[in-house]
């Protein structure tokens, strides 16, 4: 694309890309009616980017494992005046070289995957069991929701929540087109009990050079169902949940939130589009508008259950990039929390951690009723 056309499209879509001092890409997104910063200069003296970590293939399970020893030195729960996700003000330089912003996405300084891109090859049955590791190619990005150091996605305004959704759609489209990327995963870890290393409201995006085990399992179920019925599995699950009604949390014109029939966690809710779409990039403007508010309000419902913020993982399941999976696998959110009481957490012990066999202490119907009844 010509530079002029690229710039025109970027401004029309309210985003602008630039490079940090060590070459990492950073993309600014603006709320409707807000101006984009046109001159962004990162004058930090940063070390050159290191080589990727390793990907090792586990013969026992058939899964890839990333080995990223360099992440041991990443920033861990810094005080507010040292937060790398706050604006750069008063002579203090952060990862965001601007005094103010709306939403920013940048390449992680301590990535599990990348910075190099490329394709990987799964070892064959006749190759050595301990095959040589390959570079951990791919991309890891950080999505900063707001310049405010405190809060969460649930505290965002309508406009800001919508800008974050637009950023997710943009990054899904861009990352899906990069060399060797097989799956784009958008997620947010919220709360120290989940294991966050930065308090500032943010999420992450991983662009994998392989299909992850969970995505592979979901895609296989979806493909098999579609081949037998010519209907999408998640679409029929949604119809069944709506018909039953006991686990519905909220409904809109384009999305429905419900607690799944076989919920694994004491707090778990899914947010599913009524139309079959494989990923964020395939959503219409109207669907993005509704999704931003319904997801924001679902997070608020989790927080309203107790007197303190609820730790959670927001996992956006998108279809793998290959065409067969996109025809059958539908975009959806899985929002989970290990909080089973005001002062108790569910830990993954023997059955869950070792066998993947979950045991839930709370019925999904009870959880749905509690989420419906809270005041927003």
Asked if 202 is an active-site residue, the reply is yes
Given the residues 200, 202, 225, 270, the one annotated as active site: 202
DSSP SS3 for 297: helix
And the tokens for 147? 């310049």
Positions marked active-site: 202
């Amino acid at each position: 694309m010509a530079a002029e056309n690229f710039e025109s499209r970027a401004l029309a879509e309210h985003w602008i890309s630039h490079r940090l001092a060590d070459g990492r890409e950073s993309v600014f997104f603006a709320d409707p009616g807000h101006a984009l910063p046109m001159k962004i200069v990162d004058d930090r003296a940063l070390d050159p980017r290191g080589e990727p970590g390793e990907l090792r293939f586990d013969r026992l399970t058939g899964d890839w494992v990333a080995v990223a020893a360099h992440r041991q030195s990443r920033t861990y729960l810094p005080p507010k005046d040292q937060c790398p996700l706050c604006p750069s003000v008063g002579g203090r330089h952060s990862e965001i070289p601007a005094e103010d912003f709306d939403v920013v996405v940048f390449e992680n300084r301590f990535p599990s995957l990348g910075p190099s891109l490329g394709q990987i090859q799964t070892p064959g049955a006749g190759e050595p069991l301990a095959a040589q590791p390959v570079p951990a190619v791919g991309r890891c990005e950080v999505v900063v929701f707001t310049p405010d150091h405190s809060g969460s996605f649930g505290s965002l305004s309508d406009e800001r929540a919508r800008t974050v959704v637009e950023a997710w759609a943009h990054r899904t489209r861009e990352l899906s087109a990069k060399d060797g990327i097989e799956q784009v995963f958008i997620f947010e870890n919220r709360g120290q009990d989940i294991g966050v290393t930065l308090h500032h409201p943010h999420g992450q995006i991983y662009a994998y050079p392989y299909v992850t085990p969970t995505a592979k399992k979901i895609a296989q179920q979806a493909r098999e169902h579609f081949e037998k019925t010519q209907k999408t599995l998640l679409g029929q699950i949604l119809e069944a949940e709506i018909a039953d009604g006991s686990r519905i949390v909220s409904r809109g014109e384009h999305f429905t939130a419900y607690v799944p029939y076989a919920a694994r966690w004491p707090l778990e809710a899914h947010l599913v589009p009524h139309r079959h779409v494989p990923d964020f990039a395939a959503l219409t403007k109207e669907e993005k508008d509704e999704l931003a508010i319904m997801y924001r309000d679902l997070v608020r419902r989790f927080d309203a259950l107790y007197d303190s913020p609820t730790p959670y993982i927001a996992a956006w399941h998108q279809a793998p990039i290959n065409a067969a999976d996109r025809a059958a696998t539908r975009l959806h959110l899985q929002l989970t929390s290990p909080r089973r009481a005001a002062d108790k957490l569910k830990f993954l012990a023997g059955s869950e951690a070792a066998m993947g066999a979950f045991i839930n202490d709370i019925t999904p119907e009870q959880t749905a009723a509690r989420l419906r009844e809270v005041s927003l």
